[in-house]
Amino acid sequence: MPDAQDYGDAGCDTLGNLARHLGGLCLPNLEMLGLGKAHDVKGLSSEVKARGAYGKLAEASPGKDSATGHWELAGIVLDRPFPTYPEGFPREVIDEFEERIGRKVLGNRPASGTEIINELGDQHVATGRPIVYTSSDSVFQLAAHKEVIPTEELYAMCRTARKMLTGEHLVSRVIARPFEGSSGDYRRVNSERRDFAVDPPRPSLLDCISRNGKPVAGAGKIADLFAGRGLVECEHTADNRETMSRLLSLMGNYGEGMLMVNLVDFDTLYGHRNDPSGFYDALREFDGFIPVLMERMGSGDACFITSDHGCDPTYPTTDHTREYALFIAFGANMRNDVDVGIRKSFADAGRTAADLLGLSCELDGDSFASLLAG
């Protein structure tokens, strides 16, 4: 985005840089839906007649973290960023946390999660001290070996941190990061990760849909990011494959309403670990899922595919990156080959979804449902 340099992200471009790094991408189903028309991606044609709508969403909220992005997609634009801690958390925060949990901690600095557990894992196992770390995002992350601090106890520590981090230290998320393995081979257990987010500051699209008597269900960490609000169910999943499978199951369980899932492997396993090849493999798996999804969709269904932030696997850092969200929408009743342009906010997607469901919701953003109507 134009302000990427303000976040230290000048030159970031998740899909564009990935394609240039690998010499081009082959994603025939996403290409057919207009991904190469939404953005210049080497290997994807911009000349196809797209089977849907395409464009870009600008992030209007300050920041580039998951909660901010998801909330904005659901119609909530923030006017100020969550606090970040490039030097680690202040001593008074750590002192209070240690007193509340009855243990000293290790770390307390920005770090890659995989690197810090291997660096401090042995000391953690020897002392029982949990590992605290953060990133360029507004997160308080707490890592512990499952055999040293059982996962439920780790969750309880995270709930303690969540209650404690208020006021000027109201971080976006407290994240539990259990890991396993032995010295030199510690591995995060991503299926047991939990995010403890703050409540959205006002009703979101999810709340609006549910208040109008329609179900909202999810998979992945949607419930964590929205503090469970507005959802009738949301199952944690281990990886992209399980999330895609769960989406198909949910499609058979509900009528008119909304399903919202997120595919976390793209950043958790590949973007944050600077793994372009793994990122591409995950993209190809998702591309292969598109025809299966389309086959299951009913005549009145609409699907939006987008992102909540960038996570460029070719970029020097391992953090999220400040980028436009690429946007694709399709459905049997939707117009084909429609360019929705560069929208001023992620929230435009939420307002559009509300309009497609025939709901009047007090959300930020501007609807472009009239462009999609078949």
Average pLDDT of the residues in 239-268: 95
* pLDDT higher than threshold 80 for residue 370: yes
Same domain, 272 and 362: yes
Across all residues in the chain, what is the average pLDDT? 96
- pLDDT, tens only, 311-361: 999 999 888 999 999 999 999 999 999 999 999 999 999 999 999 999 999
Of 171, 197, 223, the position where a domain reaches its end is: 197
Cross-sheet strand order for the sheet of 216-219: 233-235, 216-219, 258-261
**How confident is residue 373, by pLDDT bands cut at 50, 70 and 90?**
confident
Q: Report how many domains make up the chain.
A: 2
pLDDT value of position 38: 98
In a domain, 49, yes or no: yes
Residue-range definition of the domain harbouring residue 368? 4-78+260-372
In a domain, 231, yes or no: no
Same domain, 264 and 365: yes
In a domain, 250, yes or no: no
CA distance linking residue 314 with residue 274, whole number of Å:
6
CATH of the domain at 191: 3.30.70.1250
In a domain, 100, yes or no: yes
CATH of the domain at 304: 3.40.720.10
Same domain, 266 and 352: yes
**For residues 121 and 114, is the Cβ–Cβ distance under 8 A?**
no
**For residues 334 and 302, is the Cβ–Cβ distance under 8 A?**
yes
In a domain, 228, yes or no: no
- pLDDT, tens only, 61-83: 999 999 999 999 999 999 999 99
In a domain, 229, yes or no: no
**How confident is residue 190, by pLDDT bands cut at 50, 70 and 90?**
confident
- pLDDT, tens only, 155-169: 999 999 999 999 999
Q: In this structure, what token pair is assigned to residue 16?
A: 């564009």
Same domain, 115 and 167: yes
Average pLDDT of the residues in 264-293: 96
In DSSP terms, 325 is beta-bridged to 57
Same domain, 99 and 64: no
pLDDT value of position 136: 81
Length of the chain equals 374
Same domain, 39 and 141: no
pLDDT value of position 281: 98
The residue with tokens 């992945």 is: 220
In a domain, 27, yes or no: yes
* pLDDT higher than threshold 80 for residue 374: no
Of 197, 228, 247, the position where a domain reaches its end is: 197
Candidates 93, 185, 193; CA nearest to 143 is 193
In a domain, 219, yes or no: no
Same domain, 363 and 330: yes
- pLDDT, tens only, 285-295: 999 999 999 99
Same domain, 334 and 358: yes
Same domain, 60 and 133: no
Same domain, 97 and 178: yes
Average pLDDT of the residues in 145-162: 98
Of 157, 172, 197, the position where a domain reaches its end is: 197
CA distance linking residue 82 with residue 253, whole number of Å:
36
Q: In this structure, what token pair is assigned to residue 130?
A: 């949990």
pLDDT value of position 249: 95
